Amino acid sequence: MKNKLLLSASLLLISTPNFAQQPKVPKADAQAIFKAADFKRTKYGWEGNCDTGEIIIYKDLNGDGRKDAVIQDNSSMCYGRTGVGYYIVSQQKNGKWKQLFSNPGIPTFLKTKGKDGWPDIENGGSGFCFAVFRWDGQEYKVQRYEYEGKACSLR
């Protein structure tokens, strides 16, 4: 019984997004993505203001036919208890990459959408009430607060 429980817990961990396989990103795109997020190439990898970043998502997030990317950066010194920050970078019509948003926390892309098809982002971390950001055509702004899909308040 104990071994079954341990095996089940191990399988659950392996199937979580943190253990998912990293996306395959062409070298030229990876370089442009990191540069758009103001990361610098070092002997350790691409470093932002906090630590070495990695591209965790590389796909079309808003349905416009162009790739988008999410860079994750880890550092408890920069991001507190959550220890994670992220950058959203989007390929523009002219082919160049542009940073749209960055924030401390863990992004969860929701089914609800803002302008131009951009998904709302639940900004997870420690606690039980998270900001949900919505794209207004210019920037992501807090639109509401949720926990497990239900409205909540920070008060």
The pLDDT of 22-44, averaged and rounded, is: 95
The pLDDT of 61-87, averaged and rounded, is: 92
The pLDDT of 70-79, averaged and rounded, is: 89
Rounded Cα distance, 144 and 150, in Å: 10
Domain boundaries defined on the chain: 23-151
The helix (H) or strand (E) run that includes residue 13 is helix 2-14
pLDDT at 11 over 90: no
Q: What is the mean pLDDT of the chain?
A: 88
Contact (Cβ atoms closer than 8 angstroms) between residue 96 and residue 35: no
Q: pLDDT class for 20, splitting at 50, 70, 90?
A: low
Neighbours of 39 (CB within 10 A): 20
- 72 three-state secondary structure: strand
